[in-house]
Chain A
Amino acid sequence: EPEVTQTPSHQVTQMGQEVILRCVPISNHLYFYWYRQILGQKVEFLVSFYNNEISEKSEIFDDQFSVERPDGSNFTLKIRSTKLEDSAMYFCAGSGAYGETQYFGPGTRLLVL
């Protein structure tokens, strides 16, 4: 069964550094998403991406964040200047044409020191 994959599984960075989180969605999915989960808190929506552009974003997704689909398979989340409060699990997800059921990757645990 196809799965969403994410790399790296863990990332430790210094405050102010840039990080890029990578995802390979399921190949026939059309909608792509990033969510984050701060330790002990809810899963929170960041952004959705369709047809090579952002279709929706939350208040969390400010100018320090960007997303890209640089080729036909990868989907990336860039955090330009990391802050301590960016420490969280970041999940990539994808969905098919109707965009209902979303299939999540295993996550990247980001720790900002």
Chain B
Amino acid sequence: SQKIEQNSEALNIQEGKTATLTCNYTNYSPAYLQWYRQDPGRGPVFLLLIRENEKEKRKERLKVTFDTTLKQSLFHITASQPADSATYLCALGAMDTGRRALTFGSGTRLQVQP
């Protein structure tokens, strides 16, 4: 069955450091992968999308990589700030089959210490 794993439930880092979050998947051939931010009691907020034929995407302090051979995506937040503290979700989509449903990982809770 399809499985998405995010490397750890929680990650604590110091302000100014780079946070690296991992998303691994099995039994899946996604057309694209997305990263969302979720704050407690709130809906997911879209951050970045990367397609299967793309290796890397950047947006301001965010960078995402996608390795379809390793079946892995890495999500980096550089120069992290306490305001970046949240849960980060990866989500896979398979539009090549006409499906648009996103399959989410369980998330990694990032805590940035001042």
Contact = CB atoms under 8 A, between A and B. Distances in A.
Interface residues of B, number: 24
Nearest to A103: B46
Interface string B77-114: 00000000000010101010001111111110000000
Given A43-B89, A101-B34, A102-B46, A55 B100 contact: yes
Nearest to A58: B101
A104 B89 CA distance: 13
B101 A56 contact: yes
Contacts of B100: 31, 33, 48, 55-56, 95, 99-100, 102
Which of under 10, 10 to 19, 20 to 34, or 35 or more describes the interface residues of A? 20 to 34
A43 B101 CA distance: 11
Contacts of A35: 102
Interface in A1-48: 4, 31, 33, 35, 41-45, 48
B43 A42 contact: no
A101 B104 contact: no
Interface in A76-113: 89, 91, 93, 95, 98-107, 109
Nearest to B6: A42
B44 A43 contact: yes
Nearest to A43: B104
Interface of A: 4, 31, 33, 35, 41-45, 48, 55-56, 58, 89, 91, 93, 95, 98-107, 109
Given A42-B107, A43-B91, 12 more contacts: A42-B104, A43-B44, A43-B102, A56-B101, A91-B44, A99-B100, A102-B46, A102-B102, A103-B46, A105-B43, A106-B43, A109-B41
Top 7 A-B pairs, shortest CB-CB distance: A104-B43, A45-B101, A43-B104, A99-B100, A104-B44, A107-B43, A91-B43
16 contacts: A33-B100, A42-B107, A43-B44, A45-B101, A48-B100, A56-B99, A89-B41, A91-B44, A95-B100, A99-B95, A100-B93, A104-B36, A104-B46, A106-B43, A107-B42, A109-B41
